[in-house]
């Protein structure tokens, strides 16, 4: 496919900050249908887009990027795909796409990013706690099985993904991890998807999505997988000439293991392509490095990726967790001093509504945000979409601000050393701003 594949992105120049080589500015002669675009760029979160918030997405820009992150993990989300394939559910409704709204915003590309928790073409084995047989001292597991999708039927999902991706496409990702072993039901070392099947599936997705394609296509890789798997996947991408890479942080923070994996991937891409020949899109990141539901502020994760070679910073996704039973709900309500389930629900909603503060690089509850003035002084849970939209807009403006500072001063460390979060969390500053060691031979390219 090397001779035929066109990434639809052309890089004109690459500039590194004088004091931090992992802050990379790229100028593009062509980015799909757009010209003279300069990265780093920040995508806005489609979850905040509504009739009431559309003006927050509509401001002067050569290019507006809007992403809808979607994780297919629950039985409900898997069943929704089955219903879509059977013609019982519209694709846009299944992924909560705001098509009529983003099409009205000028200079916009907008698309979903889909991650499957399991190989869709294999029988899914899902361990579930057997509540009737389990006791406080001993947990008993049962296994729920789901049939695989047929590839011929599944093509309708991919064709819809192409049709509803405006200006750019993210190839779906598939989580690769081990499944909980259950005696006589799920053997040890069973994986949600093997690396061999992963490569086959990505190639199948590409065969459908790249046919008569005129949009930039980004192929996925996960930042928290073993080095051996990184090597196999990138070797395949190298062979096929895929140079647009979307790095899936699988709902985790840009920290420790994922940051180490990210740097391994970047080392390999540098060696294979050189910075002037590839583009990286980071997505499905936890927006905070760590947070507690009662903390009014928490350190940013996603906004640090601009200092670790991100070309485009995508949408957030938190870590996944299964539904809680009544006992777990009661325990959590007691821990958080919530008197009702409704109060607990609102606390969680507010927890997800924190807004980025560019002055400190902390996330704050809307009512505690130091930079919003009167606009943030109400504890408005009904304004969840507005909180999301406000957060997205602030982050876009800060990415542009840092880019301007680098252009004027050729340095970014003096600016970042003023940030309260990085002064208070020195270990985070060191982890992000340390110069990464080149390990060209580790992937044997």
Assign 147 a pLDDT band (cuts: 50, 70, 90).
very high
What mean pLDDT comes out for the span 27-32?
A: 96
* pLDDT value for 250: 96
Strand order in the sheet with 108-116: 44-45, 64-72, 108-116, 173-174
CB 193 within 8 A of CB 201: yes
CB 149 within 8 A of CB 121: yes
Mean of per-residue pLDDT scores for the chain: 90
The answer for 11, left when phi > 0, alpha when psi is -120 to 50, beta otherwise, is beta
* pLDDT value for 375: 52
Whether 92 has a pLDDT exceeding 90, the answer reads yes
Whether 2 has a pLDDT exceeding 60, the answer reads no
With a pLDDT cut of 90, the percent of the chain lying above it is: 74
Assign 184 a pLDDT band (cuts: 50, 70, 90).
confident
* pLDDT value for 131: 82
Whether 66 has a pLDDT exceeding 90, the answer reads yes
CB 347 within 8 A of CB 293: yes
Whether 327 has a pLDDT exceeding 70, the answer reads no
């Amino acid at each position: 496919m090397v001779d035929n594949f066109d990434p639809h992105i052309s890089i004109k120049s690459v500039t590194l900050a004088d004091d931090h080589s992992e802050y990379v500015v790229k100028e593009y002669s062509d980015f799909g249908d757009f010209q003279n675009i300069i990265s780093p760029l920040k995508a806005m979160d489609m979850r905040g887009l509504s009739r009431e918030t559309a003006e927050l997405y509509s401001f002067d820009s050569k290019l507006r990027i809007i992403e809808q992150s979607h994780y297919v993990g629950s039985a409900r989300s898997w069943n929704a795909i089955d219903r879509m394939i059977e013609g019982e559910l519209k694709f846009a409704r299944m992924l909560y796409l705001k098509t009529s709204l983003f099409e009205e915003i000028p200079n916009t590309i907008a698309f979903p990013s889909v991650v499957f928790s399991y190989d869709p073409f294999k029988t899914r084995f899902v361990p579930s706690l057997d509540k009737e047989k389990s006791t406080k001292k001993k947990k008993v597991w049962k296994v729920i099985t789901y049939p695989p999708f047929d590839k011929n039927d599944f093509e309708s999902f991919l064709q819809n993904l192409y049709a509803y991706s405006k200006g750019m496409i993210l190839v779906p990702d598939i989580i690769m991890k081990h499944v909980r072993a259950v005696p006589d039901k799920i053997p040890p070392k069973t994986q949600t998807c093997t690396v061999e099947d992963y490569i086959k599936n990505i190639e199948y997705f590409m065969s459908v999505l790249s046919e008569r394609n005129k949009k930039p296509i980004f192929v996925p890789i996960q930042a928290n997988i073993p080095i051996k798997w990184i090597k196999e996947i990138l070797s395949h991408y190298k062979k096929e000439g895929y140079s647009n890479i979307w790095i899936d942080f699988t709902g985790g923070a840009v920290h420790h293991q994922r940051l180490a994996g990210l740097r391994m991937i970047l080392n390999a891409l540098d060696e294979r392509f050189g910075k002037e020949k590839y583009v990286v899109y980071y997505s499905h990141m936890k927006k905070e490095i760590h947070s507690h539901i009662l903390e009014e502020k928490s350190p940013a994760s996603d906004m640090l990726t601009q200092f670790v070679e991100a070309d485009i910073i995508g949408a957030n996704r938190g870590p996944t967790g299964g539904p809680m039973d009544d006992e777990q709900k009661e325990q959590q309500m007691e821990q958080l001093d919530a008197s009702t389930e409704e109060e607990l629900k609102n606390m969680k909603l507010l927890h997800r509504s924190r807004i980025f503060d560019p002055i400190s690089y902390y996330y704050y509850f809307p009512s505690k945000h130091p930079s919003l003035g009167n606009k943030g002084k109400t504890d408005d849970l009904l304004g969840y979409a507005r909180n999301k939209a406000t957060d997205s807009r602030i982050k876009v403006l800060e990415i542009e601000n840092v880019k301007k500072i680098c252009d004027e001063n050729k340095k970014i460390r003096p600016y970042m050393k003023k940030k309260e979060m990085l002064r208070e969390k020195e270990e985070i500053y060191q982890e992000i701003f340390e110069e990464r060691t080149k390990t060209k031979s580790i992937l044997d390219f």
